[in-house]
Amino acid sequence: MKKLGYIMMFILVGVPGYFMGAQSFKGIPIKLKLEVEKSISLKTPILIGQFFIGAPYLSNRLSKSNPEKVYFSFADFDCVTFVENVLALYYSDGTNSKFIENLIKIRYNDSVSYENRNHYLTKGLQKLVALNILSPINNQLNSKSIQKNINYLSKHINSNYINMSRIISIEKSISHEDMYYFGSNNVVEINHLIKNGDVIAFVSSRNDLDFQHVGFVYIKNNKKYILHASQEKKVVCISDVTIDQYLSNNKKIKGFQIYRPNI
């Protein structure tokens, strides 16, 4: 990620002039609904993610206005909205109303507003765990811990639209927590803990930001890749390199967390 502003896609911040406006939800398309039903029957959420391979990567699609409108799209994703949509669909039973309910619960706390959106992936993952959608595979015995001074959003966002004190409060709460993660060099040692379809979240090397990227573990020929909405490739795809190669090649990442869908 060569430009500082691009990092903001991971905390889901809109950029003036780029946001298209919230789309009205038009229902789960038939082909996608069939894939959801198949995924549920096989207990394999990652099948839904594979359905979206080739969909364009587009960042900054969520609202910058406040009050906020929910953005619905099965046609474009950033890395976070890709994971959100796959999980919301899997736990929807293929019904429109349940999908909407799931997406809002995953993306927001309490109500739909800018301040209540889970801008930081730390809060998004915590919400997914609280909803019993994911379980963390980040035990203290095999992982490292760090405390960060999270303040990226409050340093860069236009405060005219939001309650900045609420954002700062969220950042402080994240900063006070120990962040457990597996180091970039520990993939081999904890390889047995990583399963196909796990959510993998890559910890940023920046002190003011929690995560750099997120996707799903995709195992092919006994090798572990990433199924993700890739900024580099500009599409949803399976990575060309394995997870350990991705980690060793990316100096902006210091490690990763693993979460398993509760299926």
CATH number at residue 165: 2.30.260.10
pLDDT in tens, 221-233: 999 999 999 999 9
* pLDDT reported for residue 81: 97
Confidence of residue 20 (pLDDT cuts 50, 70, 90): very low
For residues 147 and 203, is the Cβ–Cβ distance under 8 A? no
Number of domains in the chain: 1
pLDDT in tens, 74-130: 999 999 999 999 999 999 989 999 999 999 999 999 889 999 999 999 999 999 999
Tell me which residue of 133, 156, 145, 130 sits closest to 203, measured CA to CA.
145
Residue 21 predicted with pLDDT over 80: no
Residue 19 predicted with pLDDT over 50: no
pLDDT in tens, 167-218: 999 999 999 999 999 998 877 778 888 999 999 999 999 999 999 999 999 9
Hey, which residues does 200 pair with through a beta bridge?
A: 215, 258
Neighbours of 258 (CB within 10 A): 21
pLDDT in tens, 48-86: 999 999 999 999 888 767 778 899 999 999 999 999 999
By DSSP bridging, strand 253-261 and strand 199-204 are antiparallel
**Dihedral angle sign, alpha carbons of residues 31, 33, 36, 38:** negative
* pLDDT reported for residue 67: 78
Q: What single DSSP character describes residue 236? A: E
pTM for the model stands at: 0.90
* pLDDT reported for residue 140: 60
* pLDDT reported for residue 23: 60
Range of the domain at 145: 4-261
pLDDT in tens, 128-164: 999 999 999 976 667 889 999 999 999 988 767 788 9
* pLDDT reported for residue 186: 78
Neighbours of 104 (CB within 10 A): 13
